[in-house]
């Protein structure tokens, strides 16, 4: 198995200045698997849903090469539900409802055929749960990446620091990097965070692109200036999925490929925000992604 991902599969109800949705399918695991499926034809998703979750959504993931044996369906229980309203700038949002449901006592079980995955992506979950997944792997994956959020820094910092010792790539946003490191300068923050464990750090800056830190290298990936961001939900997970999918397909993990992988993730995220939920990710083709990656080239190329 090339890639294994653990992450939520959920219902979201979203309100943006452009409209609102009823319950639609979301969740970090869903976005990561969808995004990486463009590059990786064989992957495993580890998650949990309730009996209210539509079978055809799982079947659709399956048709894209996502092994869903690791997605537990809990009879008599309900799927994780999140509802939020974005402000006019679409950079900030209020959470209206969080119903953990099946996610409350999620104890992921890595299926046997995923225990030898060479790439492991840990979506945003409690750091203890993330660590439990690492510990179920039969051999150390070639690359372990994880996402986390302020919430875990607030309530489970020690566990988070323990899990950080076991991973290679941390993917967080600028605000989270500042909170985790305790310093404002992202360059200093990167040094402090990489001393906690991950040799590779990606700091996402939303409409301002992303920074990649590895060894003595820094890469500044631009973000495509968009006419409109319709719905930012899932953009960060889509970015992570594109990054891991691209690297897993490329196999060689060097700085040049990491840079390409970030452009792939950025291109996918730029599609994701064009419509509600996962809709746009289901419409686009590999040719669309390649064309958009080329836009990043013309956007940022210069010669002295």
- Residues forming contacts to its own copies in the complex (CB under 8 A) are 88-90, 184-188, 190, 205, 207-209, 211, 217-223, 225-229, 256, 259-260, 263, 293-294, 297-304
Measured from the CB atom, the residue of 158 and 227 that comes closer to its own copies is 227
CB of 208 to its own copies, least distance (A): 4
CB of 242 to its own copies, least distance (A): 14
CB of 207 to its own copies, least distance (A): 8
CB of 39 to its own copies, least distance (A): 13
Tokens matching residue 91: 């950079």
Measured from the CB atom, the residue of 129 and 250 that comes closer to its own copies is 250
**Residues in Cβ contact with 12 at an 8 Å cutoff, skipping those fewer than 6 apart:** 21, 23, 24, 25, 26, 27, 81, 82, 83, 84, 233, 277
CB of 64 to its own copies, least distance (A): 23
Measured from the CB atom, the residue of 61 and 267 that comes closer to its own copies is 267
CB of 224 to its own copies, least distance (A): 8
CB of 28 to its own copies, least distance (A): 25
Measured from the CB atom, the residue of 62 and 219 that comes closer to its own copies is 219
Report the C-alpha gap between 303 and 1 in whole angstroms: 41
Measured from the CB atom, the residue of 125 and 193 that comes closer to its own copies is 193
**Residues in Cβ contact with 73 at an 8 Å cutoff, skipping those fewer than 6 apart:** 48, 49, 50, 51, 53
Measured from the CB atom, the residue of 97 and 304 that comes closer to its own copies is 304
Q: Are 3 and 36 in contact (CB under 8 A)?
A: yes
Measured from the CB atom, the residue of 63 and 216 that comes closer to its own copies is 216
CB of 43 to its own copies, least distance (A): 23
Of 296, 200, 207, the residue nearest 253 (C-alpha):
200
Measured from the CB atom, the residue of 61 and 189 that comes closer to its own copies is 189
């Amino acid at each position: 198995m090339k890639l294994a991902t653990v992450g939520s599969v959920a219902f979201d109800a979203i309100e943006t200045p452009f409209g609102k949705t009823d319950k639609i399918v979301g969740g970090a695991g869903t976005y990561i698997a969808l995004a990486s499926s463009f590059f990786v034809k064989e992957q495993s998703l580890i998650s949990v849903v309730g009996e209210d979750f539509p079978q055809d959504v799982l079947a659709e993931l399956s048709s894209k090469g996502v092994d869903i044996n690791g997605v537990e369906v809990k009879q008599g229980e309900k799927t994780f539900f999140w509802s939020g309203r974005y402000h006019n700038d679409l950079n900030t949002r209020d959470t209206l409802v969080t119903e953990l449901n099946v996610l409350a006592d999620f104890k992921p079980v890595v299926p046997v055929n995923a225990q030898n995955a060479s790439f492991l992506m840990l979506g945003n979950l409690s750091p203890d749960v993330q660590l439990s997944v690492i510990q179920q792997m039969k051999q150390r994956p070639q690359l372990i990446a994880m996402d986390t959020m302020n919430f875990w820094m607030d309530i489970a910092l020690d566990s988070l620091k323990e899990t950080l010792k076991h991973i290679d790539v941390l993917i967080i946003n600028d605000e989270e990097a500042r909170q985790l490191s305790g310093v404002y300068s992202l360059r200093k923050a990167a040094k402090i965070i990489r001393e906690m464990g991950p040799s590779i750090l990606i700091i996402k800056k939303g409409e301002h692109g992303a920074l990649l830190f590895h060894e003595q290298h820094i890469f500044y990936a631009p973000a495509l200036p968009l006419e409109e961001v319709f719905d930012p939900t899932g953009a960060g997970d889509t970015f992570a999925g594109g990054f891991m999918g691209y690297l897993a397909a490329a196999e060689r993990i060097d700085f040049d490929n990491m840079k390409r992988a970030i452009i792939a993730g950025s291109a996918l995220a730029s599609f994701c925000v064009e419509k509600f939920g996962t809709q746009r990710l289901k419409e686009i083709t590999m040719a669309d992604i390649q064309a958009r990656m080329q836009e990043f080239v013309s956007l940022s190329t210069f010669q002295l």
